Chain A
Amino acid sequence: MTHHPVRRAIGPTGFLTIIMVAVLMLAGCASAPLPPTDSLNDARDAIASAEQAEARQYAGAELEEANRHLVAATKAVEAERMIEADRLAKQARVAAELAIARTEAAKAAIINRQMGRSAEALDEEMQRQGDQQ
């Protein structure tokens, strides 16, 4: 057998050690951190939606924050700090969602103001015409 000379050369303890080291190395490979792809994609989608909703105009700071977190997440992936990357991606997503929510609230407020004004204008006009009589 081809193994025998090796076994003889390093002895049984040494052989066991080698096997253990190999197993450990394999385990190390298996648990090599993977980038948080889902979180990153979710963050990008949320930011795209925010931009679509004109968040730049109505919630610029929140959108900016989301982008900042996404950039930091990408850097963390490059540095293979995957747990940090995942957290940053999630923060980017939640910030983008807040940007969307605030944009919608701002738009809703504008619509209501306009509606209120048009009703007021009508009343005022009536008032004025009434006064003229």
Chain B
Amino acid sequence: MKTQSFLKPFPGSKTIVVILLSSALLTACAMSPTSPDGSEGVRAKFTELQQNPAMMTYARVELRNAENAVQLAEQPVDDNALAAHRIYMADRMLEIARAKGESRMLEAERAQLAEQRDASRLAARTREADRAHADAESARSSQAKAAAMSSREAEELQRQIDSLEAEATERGLVLTLGDVLFATGSSEIQGGTNQNLEKLVNFLNQYPDRRVSIEGHTDNVGSAAFNQTLSRQRAESIRQYLLDRGIDYRRLAVSGYGYERPVASNDTATGRQQNRRVEVVIENRE
């Protein structure tokens, strides 16, 4: 209406000029410089954070600063580097707002967690009080049980050692297997089984971390070489016996000393018999 009346006094070519001008102006509007590429990203991120009520509660100031940065980033500029810089700044400020919001939310939750923990503690105390009497009784008895157990274990070990008739030495428990085990000049174990060896097997099964050194000895009858070999063979047959009974080979070491280490005089028959022996050394636990 107003525009029409304004146009009326200028008919003909002037109207065309006016129309051209206004259309040019309109085009200018339509082509008005747009926001830099990438600024939609920060705008979307901002909108997302803004819709999160926790963010509005805990990071209001940071979010407002970030919004200013987003608006700046959206302003049209010719300088691409400047546009990229503004988008970068806006994006990082949004992320800062997000992180700060998270931190503050976690801090706020902490009060609740503390309450929860206090409630748990209170419940615990109440129950403890309720139970204190009964507990004291059972605790005493279980403690006594534990003590009895460990002393029983120690007793058991001692009993085992005693039954092995082993001698406690610096090197460990030394179990001496006498001459009667073998036929003269032979390394075969007589009778196939032996009570002392069975006890040793039991002991080694019960204490699987103990290692064993098997050492053969002889009297001085015969040559050194013969005795050395015989002592070694006798030690070996003990080892074989233990292996057959399932003891791990890695726990067993063997050596033959011949007549180098007598424990009695070789001048008497009794002395010589004592010297013909195999010593099983059960090494001390490290």
| A joins B in a complex | yes
Contact size class for B? 20 to 34
Q: Inside 8 A of A123's CB, which chain B residues have their CB?
A: 120, 123
Q: Inside 8 A of B99's CB, which chain A residues have their CB?
A: 98, 101-102, 104-105
Q: Inside 8 A of A125's CB, which chain B residues have their CB?
A: 124
In the assembly, what is the distance between CA of A111 and CA of B124, in Å?
Answer: 22
In the assembly, what is the distance between CA of A91 and CA of B81, in Å?
Answer: 13
In the assembly, what is the distance between CA of A104 and CA of B99, in Å?
Answer: 8
Q: Can you list 23 pairs linking A and B with CB atoms under 8 Å apart?
A: A87-B85, A91-B85, A91-B88, A94-B96, A95-B92, A97-B96, A98-B96, A104-B100, A104-B103, A105-B102, A105-B106, A108-B102, A108-B107, A112-B109, A115-B113, A115-B114, A119-B113, A119-B116, A119-B120, A122-B117, A122-B121, A123-B123, A125-B124
Q: CB-CB contacts of A34-69 with B at 8 A, as 1s and 0s?
A: 000000000000000000000000000000000000
Q: CB-CB contacts of A92-133 with B at 8 A, as 1s and 0s?
A: 001101100110110011011001101100110110011001
Q: Inside 8 A of B92's CB, which chain A residues have their CB?
A: 91, 94-95, 97-98
Shortest Cβ distance from residue A103 to the other chain B in the assembled complex, whole angstroms: 9
Contact status B120-A122, CB under 8 Å: yes
Q: Inside 8 A of B127's CB, which chain A residues have their CB?
A: 126, 129-130
Q: Inside 8 A of A84's CB, which chain B residues have their CB?
A: 81
In the assembly, what is the distance between CA of A36 and CA of B265, in Å?
Answer: 101
Q: Inside 8 A of A97's CB, which chain B residues have their CB?
A: 92, 96
- Using a Cβ–Cβ cut-off of 8 Å, how many residues does chain A contribute to the interface with B? 27
Q: Inside 8 A of A94's CB, which chain B residues have their CB?
A: 88-89, 92-93, 96
B95 in the interface (beta carbon within 8 A) = yes
Contact status A90-B89, CB under 8 Å: yes
Q: Inside 8 A of B2's CB, which chain A residues have their CB?
A: none
